[in-house]
Structures are given as C-alpha cells and as structure tokens.
Structure 1
Amino acid sequence: MPRRSYDQYCAVARALDAVGDRWTLLIARELLGGPRRYTDLHADLPGVSTDMLASRLKDMERDDLLTRRRLPRPGTASVYELTPRGRALLPVLAALADWGAPALDEQRPTDAVRAHWFAVPLLARLARHFADAPVRVVDVTLDEGAFHLVLDPDDPTTGHYADGPAPHPDTVLRMTAATCAALAHDRFTLAEALAAGWIDQSHPDDRTADPATA
C-alpha cells in the first residue's frame, strides 16, 4: 500500500505522516518498555484488531520506527523493538500525556487499564523527586500489575521503563491506580503523597520473601 502523506513541507506534517495514524503512538508506548512479541502487544492494546495491528507494525517498520528480530533458539518467536528513531518518541509521548491529563478524571467502566501505562509521565516526575537521592531504579506496584523505571535525573527524556519488578530496585512504591494517575499528572507530588499515606515506600530488602524460596 502506498504511503499516505499530507504533502506539506512542514515538520509537524512530516511527523504525522509517520505517527499520525490510529494506534501508532500507542504501539510506540508499549515498545518503549522493551521488545514485545506480537501476542503481548495485542494483549496490551485492547480494542485493536489483529489486521490493524499487523498493518501498523509493517508501517512502523517501513518508517524506521521499529525492527523485528527472531529470538535465539530454543525460542521461535519474533519480537518487535523500537529503533533509535522510535525511542526518540519518548518526550513526544510524555508531552501528549501532560496535554491529555486534564481529560483523565474518574476511570470509566469501559476503560481498560494496564499498570505500565502510567510509566511515561512518571519518568520525569520521579526523576525530579529523586534528583538528589541515590535512587535510579524504582519499582512501582499497583493492584493491576507492576513495572519499573530507570531514571536519569540529569535528563528525564532518556530514562526508560519495563514491565515487572526490577532485579535490583533502589526503592519500591506501592499505590492504587487512581493515586498513580494523580501522581503521574502532577495533582500532587510524591512527597505529599507519602506524607498523606497514599503511597507506601519501602526498601527492596523489606519485601516479604517468597515462601517457596525462604
């Protein structure tokens, strides 16, 4: 299929030629957390059809936003991962998250939620909070799941995140999805949330040991 274009000599138009189609930026959001299999992407993009997802992945590969590679044996699956050009979308998505935050009120009954969807706006907030502390890796745990952030206090746009807890986090934050959304969108600071008891912060060594390994 030929590439659609606005045919305007404008940087905004050129950017939208590549990422303006429905689902493209949300696929980038998912892949900012690291390589993902097609089935993982489909599971965490509720509402996208298999045909649409396959089409968008091909478009993004064509536009040098992502690449596909086969996992080493004995695995047979392929994974998609962002190119440097694709990873450069992090500040774009962070700005969109800030712009869209006022529309994120009460969670609607039809709203899907994944814990890691809060990661992009949290990167800058937590990098700012921990700028003067020896904290670079933060586990965030919600009822809906867990993810971790790798912070760069000097340049929050270069941080990254991934699903699940980190092997060696510096600190662990536990909260509800509503609290996480409010924190991610500057309705209060982490210091204020900790003081109010809305967030529980602990050291990784304080986590209860797994009974199976204790």
Structure 2
Amino acid sequence: MTEHGNTPRIRYDEGCLAAHALNVIGDRWALLVVRELMLTPRRFQTIRSGLPGISAAVLTQRLSQLQQAGVVRHDAALGVYALTESGQGLLPVLQAMCRWGAMHPGHDPRRFISPTALMISMTAMIDAAAAQGRHVRAGFASGPDRFVLSLDGDGVLRAAAVREVDADFTLAGSGNDLARAVYGPVRLNDLAPGGIALSGDADAAQDFVDLFRLR
C-alpha cells in the first residue's frame, strides 16, 4: 500500500483488477480492521478489542497502510480512525465474504465475534424474501456499543451505530451471546437467563431473529 492515488505496493504482479484490489487491502488483518470501522469511527484500543488476535504493532502498521491507501483517515484531534468513502465501499465485499464463508465447512460460531462483525453478518445473512414488506427497528447493545438494524419494506437490512437505541425491541449481551440469539435454534425466551437481556416487544424480537439462518 502507498499514498492515496499512487500505485499500491505490488504483492501480485498482474493486471487483474482483483489482484489490484488485493494489492491495496490484501494484507493480513486489513479487511478485518475495515470491518471494525464500517459502522462507526473508533479509537485504536477499541479497534483492537474487536480483533483479539492482533498485536498493537501489527494494528499500527495496518492502519498506517490503510491511511496511505486512502481507505482509512485519522482524526488526530479526536484520536479516532474512520473509513473514507473508498473504505465504506468495501461493505458489499464483507457481506459477500460472509455469505460465501457460510457455505463452507469449518466455521465455528463459538469463537470470538465482535458486535460489529455480527451486525455486518446479519445484513448479509437475512432471508431477504421473508423480510420483504416488513418494517422493523431492532436494537442491539453490547458493552459500550449500540446499534439499530432497520427493515424498511424492501427486504434490505441496514445497520447503524447509534448513541441511544430507539427501536421496537433491544437485545443486549456479548457478541457471541447475541450471535447465539440470532442464529441459534433456541427461542429468545429460553436464552434470557443465559446472558441475553430482552426489552421491548418480545414477539417482534422473535419474529425478527427468525429471519436469520447460517447456511
């Protein structure tokens, strides 16, 4: 990766556009750093908390490379990193990778999943046909993170980070507990004692999570 607008560091010496994209964002951890910034700007340590396997040195290097590539910008005054328009354009890539990964064996949902990773996976894995015509605002809370996922009748699920949740219902828990609530076979009422807190319309919450399956 090099400065925005310049030729990226050559990892793959090909004219293929996919190879060119990998020259820009193909380093280890790069796309996952982008994932953690997809819904909201974050400070260094908050990014790292969503990537428990990354070292501080490697994260520093990836952020620097992504800045040079024009994918990430750093607001030194606020101490936060955010995606540029180019970085935001990687959302469909992450969603496609979620759908592709779900078709291949070996995925272990018991491993760590960050709240942001879960929100993005939900936008990819929703049953769009079943979601058609539905209007729902679903709230999710995990540690300091707050999200609202919205269905507006077109079958497309949109995720946004928020300061305060204004939704039909809110599910609260760790990323893994929330993933179990969304993708697992157990109904929400039976999960409540096991780390999930549900407030608001319980029937609407159950109807909403029934729209998701890991294929």
**TM-score, normalization by structure 1:** 0.69
Match of 2:107 among 101, 104, 107: 104
Q: Please state if 1:20 is matched with 2:36.
A: no
2-structure distance, mates of 1:125, 1:166: 25
Aligned equivalent of 2:205: none
Aligned equivalent of 2:207: none
2-structure distance, mates of 1:39, 1:141: 19
Q: Please state if 1:134 is matched with 2:112.
A: no
Aligned equivalent of 2:113: 113
What do you get for the CA RMSD once the two structures are aligned?
Answer: 3.4
| Equivalent position amino acid for 2:107 in 1 | L
Change (3 A) 1:178 1:37: closer
Equivalenced residues, count: 186
Residues 132-179 of structure 1 show CA distances to partners (whole Å, capped at 9, x for unaligned) of 2332x321357x78642343654748x3333x7743123324688367
Q: Shift in Å at residue 130 of structure 1?
A: 4.5
Match of 1:55 among 51, 61, 81: 61
Q: Shift in Å at residue 13 of structure 1?
A: 0.2
Change (3 A) 1:78 1:175: closer
1-structure distance, mates of 2:132, 2:81: 32
Matches within 5 A, 1:1-214: 3-71=9-77, 77-101=78-102, 102-105=105-108, 107=110, 111-126=111-126, 128=128, 130-135=131-136, 137-141=137-141, 147-151=146-150, 153=152, 154=154, 156=156, 159-162=158-161, 166-173=164-171, 177=176, 180=179, 183=182, 202-203=200-201
Change (3 A) 1:89 1:106: closer
**Residue 132 of structure 1: SS of its match in structure 2?**
strand
| Equivalent position amino acid for 2:170 in 1 | V
| Equivalent position amino acid for 1:92 in 2 | V
Q: Shift in Å at residue 82 of structure 1?
A: 0.5
2-structure distance, mates of 1:89, 1:116: 14
1-structure distance, mates of 2:168, 2:178: 21
2-structure distance, mates of 1:155, 1:4: 40
2-structure distance, mates of 1:39, 1:166: 22
**Residue 13 of structure 2: SS of its match in structure 1?**
coil
Extract unaligned runs of 5+ from structure 2. 3-8, 193-197, 203-215
Change (3 A) 1:112 1:150: closer
CA contact under 8 A between 1:61 and 1:67: conserved in structure 2? Answer: yes
CA contact under 8 A between 2:148 and 2:165: conserved in structure 1? Answer: no
Q: Shift in Å at residue 16 of structure 1?
A: 0.6
Identity of aligned residues (%): 27
Residues 82-123 of structure 1 show CA distances to partners (whole Å, capped at 9, x for unaligned) of 11111111111111112223432352xxx4333332111212
Q: Shift in Å at residue 180 of structure 1?
A: 2.4
Q: Shift in Å at residue 201 of structure 1?
A: 7.2
| Equivalent position amino acid for 1:139 in 2 | G
| Equivalent position amino acid for 2:52 in 1 | P
| Equivalent position amino acid for 1:202 in 2 | G
Change (3 A) 1:167 1:70: farther
CA contact under 8 A between 1:35 and 1:79: conserved in structure 2? Answer: yes
Residues 29-84 of structure 1 show CA distances to partners (whole Å, capped at 9, x for unaligned) of 1001200011211222112111111111111111111111134xxxxx41111111
